[in-house]
Amino acid sequence: MTTRSRFLVTGGAGYVGSHVVAALCDAGHDVVIFDNLRTGHRESVPDGVRFVPGDLADRPLVDRVLADGPWDGVLHFAALSLVGESMQQPFLYMEANAGLGFSLIDACVRHGVKRFVFSSTAALFGQTEDALITERTPIIPGSPYGESKHMVERALVWADRIHGLRSACLRYFNAAGADPTGRIGEDHRPETHLIPLVIDAALGRRGELQLFGDDYPTPDGTCIRDYIHVTDLAQAHLAALDVIHDRSVVYNVGNGVGHSNMEVIRSVERVTGRTVPWRLAPRRPGDPARLVAGAERLRAETSWTPRFARLDDIVETAYRWRLAHPDGYRSLVAAESLLEQILSRRNRLIT
């Protein structure tokens, strides 16, 4: 995108959303973030970016925001995203992800939005024998979370066919790492992603890491995943926006290389120089043995290519973020509070 554009980003204070916002701002675009901060962080919002606190369930508020156009596109990240939780509360996920997704799409159509980028997932594919999962791999969700994302993808097909809303569904594999400049990073509460959990175990910030299952049909018995650096993932969104001026697309986004849970542990040990304490735990329901992306369509149809393809490079950025922010974004709040106290005392001394 070479011209300055204006985008609404739902869930833009969350992990992936905040990195996409940073990429859009770096490219010179205007961004408005809409987020209920259930899992996002106000501290991740860049200076100069308008932030609207709100929930997609508040339909009048969504309408007011979209009425403040024009918009060059909407990027939709706001969702529940825990596979295990979705296995326990399936209808919560259907309502929050699919139901509110439908509502947002409808609002976009009514307010004349022409482009829509959707944060989808590799959890659409469930158990598969494919060595590389392509966009042609049969969709058989292994969890209500994956099912809820698929429902939104199907809604976007009809939004295009009937209303001309062009969309890009980006099926993420495992987003990981942190902004290389250190501006933003990963801070989930509770943390559920493997790489930050392994790093925290190595740093002694939590007890033994639980390794869920060692009897999968993989070389070392642990699950294999494709880890994509979150900055590379963010750039894929910008690349997709260029494509959907004319047509809707579906892209898998990954490195095309799988790493087992044990390989992640070894990578963290190499990067940190520390031993990772871990213990074996039972399998989690809904976890496929292997999910590795075949992302050639994205590479072929856009200029996108990952910059951080090596697992150790991904781990290093995550490690640097967690060292600098031992309590996540709360560390930033504490540092700002301390600075305010210092400045206040200095001002009192001067006066």
Give CA–CA dist 136/310, Å, rounded: 26
Rg of the chain (C-alpha set): 20
Q: List the alpha helices (DSSP H) in 76-208.
A: 83-88, 90-93, 100-110, 144-163, 194-202
Known catalytic residues? Answer: 145
Torsion of CA 11, 178, 301, 140, to 10 degrees: -60
Conformation bin of residue 73: beta by default, left when phi > 0, alpha when psi is -120 to 50:
left
- Alpha carbon of residue 44 to chain centroid: 14
Q: What is the rounded distance in angstroms from the CA atom of residue 198 to the CA atom of residue 269?
A: 9
Could you tell me the CA-to-CA distances from 127 to 91, 142, 145 in Å, in that order? 22, 7, 14
How, if at all, do strands 174-176 and 73-76 pair?
Answer: unpaired
